[in-house]
């Protein structure tokens, strides 16, 4: 006995929404709203998601709020000891200032974020022996390095991730401005 082949009634006109709420890829491989069914459900979901921050956005927002107020971090010195420093991110997210903690009259060092050439996590920096698994090291233009020791892996990873995002954004902005100037 042969089993009759079932023929699909019709193909859906658009791809149904992903159960996790993320749009599926369009034909070009780029996620887009055209991947949602036109049921109104997708637009209601996208409206509510605009109001609520994702977990990643919340992490970055909390990080920025803490850094703008200033955070006391352990900075590793070349002498092998660590110093407690107040590290502050400016509101424009373009510079950090570093100052010895507890000394209002201590000299501040300003670091332009776009001058950070590389960010290393943990002991990935072979040239610097003082770093630990909980370190984040900024290598600046000219080869100088600044290393901070954080309290745990999650804090270290959040610090490194956010700072890398800010460094990348500052570089892109500087490149965009440079292109605008050369066009004029």
pLDDT in tens, 13-23: 333 333 333 33
pLDDT in tens, 36-55: 333 444 444 444 555 677 88
| DSSP string over 4-18 | PPP--S---SSPPPP
Phi/psi region, residue 74 (left: phi>0; alpha: psi -120 to 50; beta: rest), is beta
pLDDT of 181 reads 82
pLDDT of 127 reads 64
Instruction: Tell whether the model's pLDDT for residue 97 goes beyond 70.
Output: yes
pLDDT in tens, 120-161: 999 877 566 678 899 999 999 988 889 999 999 999 999 999
pLDDT of 155 reads 95
pLDDT of 22 reads 33
SS3 157: helix
Instruction: Tell whether the model's pLDDT for residue 33 goes beyond 90.
Output: no
Coarse DSSP helix, strand, coil percentages of the chain, rounded to the nearest 5 percent? 35, 25, 40
Q: What is the dihedral of CA 149, 156, 165, 22, to 10 degrees?
A: 180
Share of the chain above pLDDT 90, in %: 47
pLDDT of 8 reads 40
């Amino acid at each position: 006995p042969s089993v009759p082949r079932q023929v699909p009634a019709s193909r859906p006109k658009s791809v149904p929404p992903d159960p996790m709420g993320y749009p599926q890829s369009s034909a070009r491989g780029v996620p887009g709203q055209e991947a949602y069914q036109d049921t109104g459900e997708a637009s209601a979901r996208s409206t509510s998601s605009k109001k609520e921050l994702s977990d990643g956005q919340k992490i970055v927002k909390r990080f920025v709020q803490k850094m703008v107020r200033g955070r006391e971090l352990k900075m590793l010195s070349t002498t092998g000891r660590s110093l407690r420093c107040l590290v502050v991110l400016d509101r424009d997210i373009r510079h950090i200032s570093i100052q010895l903690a507890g000394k209002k009259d201590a000299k501040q060092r300003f670091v332009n974020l776009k001058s950070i050439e590389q960010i290393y996590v943990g002991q990935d920096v072979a040239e610097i022996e003082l770093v630990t698994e909980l370190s984040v090291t900024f290598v600046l233009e000219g080869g100088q390095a600044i290393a901070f020791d954080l309290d745990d892996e999650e804090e270290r990873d959040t610090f490194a991730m956010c700072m890398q995002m800010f460094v990348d954004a500052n570089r892109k902005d500087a490149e965009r401005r440079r292109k605008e100037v050369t066009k004029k």
